[in-house]
Amino acid sequence: MYQATEITSFVRKAAREAGFDLAGVAPVREFPELERFLEWVAAGRAGEMKYMEARDQAGCLKRASLRSAASWARSVIVCAINYNTAEAYSTEVRDPQRGWISRYAWSREDYHEAVMRRLRAVEVKLHAIATSTEYRVPSSEQEQELQTRCYVDTGPIVERVYAKYAGVGWIGKNTCILNQKLGSWLFLGVILTSLELEPDLPAPDRCGSCTRCIDACPTDALIAPYQLDANRCISYLTIEKRGAIPDEMREGMGRHVFGCDICQDVCPWNRKAAATQAPEFQPRKGLVNPALEWLAEMNAGEFQEQFRGSPVRRAKLSGLRRNAVIAMGNSGDRRFLEPLRKLSHDEDAVVAEHARWAARKLTS
């Protein structure tokens, strides 16, 4: 029989060699957090993110049960890489003419591709070691072909749950994975495998009595410890939400134009978070505190050029411009009135309506 402990150690080594900062193995189980995910979806807290509600032929939520989505999987390898950079946090930025793009989206390369490239390197080494003479299951046991599958935010799996049980970190009250040494600025990638590997111990919760993330959320999206209502989350509103933003949510969005880092910025575990050494996660020019007027007046060609290979493309041009005019309205800077009056007649009806709202807010 293959040596599960030795292969698990080998996988950790392969992950380090691929550039990951953390790696661990979780078993495939019906964890209690997955039951809560099912309840979260049923309560409508996923908003318009219908991919969260993907179901199998039996009508079961795929993300709520990996055994249902990938019946052959026996273990989940979870790898994490730090993406923090040595730039100021959003809570430290005060320039009213500039907006905020979430830290993870500054990168020179889309993190999906950067993380997947590293995962593939680990996967190749896993196949090599698992089928080597030293570790291979004897043919007399009718060994089945090793199966693996890599995912970076795209699979039927709640990554942070498996990250917890792989010992990578605990799930914080802001629902992000937190690591005692690296904080929460972590990209996660997973490799499902048919191998029954030696699992790690789950990471202990170290949030204690702290509620800084909950207290700091300007839209009250963290409705309770460990509970997020996406409908109220700035990241959801600026990235996933299409069309008009509800009036009552606009003011709370502040000057965020793509994503939100507030609940991580105020976390004590991020106070001394180290900066990444990965060159592809360094910020692109102009994306740290971008000029709001530039974003609001951006055309399709500029959008394609500026955000080629960037996560920001997910918001689409209309969404990014909509977010920028909301931020202009929240800036308190009346110098935005002239461009907003022009934008109130924009050919994009969504942008025009939000520009009218923003102008009213600046003059009220």
How would residue 134 be classed by pLDDT, with cut points 50, 70 and 90? low
- Is residue 247 flagged as an active site residue? no
Q: Identify the pLDDT of residue 2.
A: 55
SS3 224: strand
pLDDT higher than threshold 80 for residue 137: no
Over 80: is that where the pLDDT of 136 sits? Answer: no
Q: Alpha carbon of 36 to those of 227, 245, 282: distances in Å? A: 9, 27, 35
207-217 pLDDT, tens digit per residue, is 999 999 999 99
Round to whole Å and give the CA distance between 241 and 236: 6
260-285 per-position pLDDT tens digit: 999 999 999 999 999 998 999 999 98
Residue 108 clears pLDDT 70, i.e. is over it: yes
Q: Which of 21, 153, 247, 346 is catalytic?
A: 153
For position 135, what pLDDT does the model report? Answer: 55
Q: Is the dihedral of CA 159, 161, 166, 168 positive or negative?
A: positive
pLDDT score of 142 more than 50: no
How far apart CA 24 and CA 3 sit, in angstroms, is 16
What pLDDT does 138 receive? 43
Q: What is the structure's pLDDT at 68?
A: 83
Computed over every residue of the chain, the mean pLDDT equals 93
Distances, alpha carbon 135 to alpha carbons 13, 141, 143, 184, 324, in Å: 16, 13, 12, 35, 56
C-alpha 233/C-alpha 263 separation (Å) is 11
Q: What is the distance between the alpha carbons of residues 307 and 87, in angstroms, rounded to a whole number?
A: 20
Element (H, E) at 170: strand 170-171
Q: How confident is the model at residue 354 (pLDDT cuts 50, 70, 90)?
A: very high
The total number of residues written for the chain in this structure: 364
77 vs 128, 137, 197, CA distance in Å? 16, 20, 9
Question: What is the three-class DSSP state of 204?
Answer: coil
pLDDT tens, 41-95? Answer: 999 999 999 889 888 888 888 888 888 889 999 999 999 999 999 999 999 999 9
- Identify whether the C-beta of residue 325 lies closer than 8 Å to the C-beta of residue 351: yes
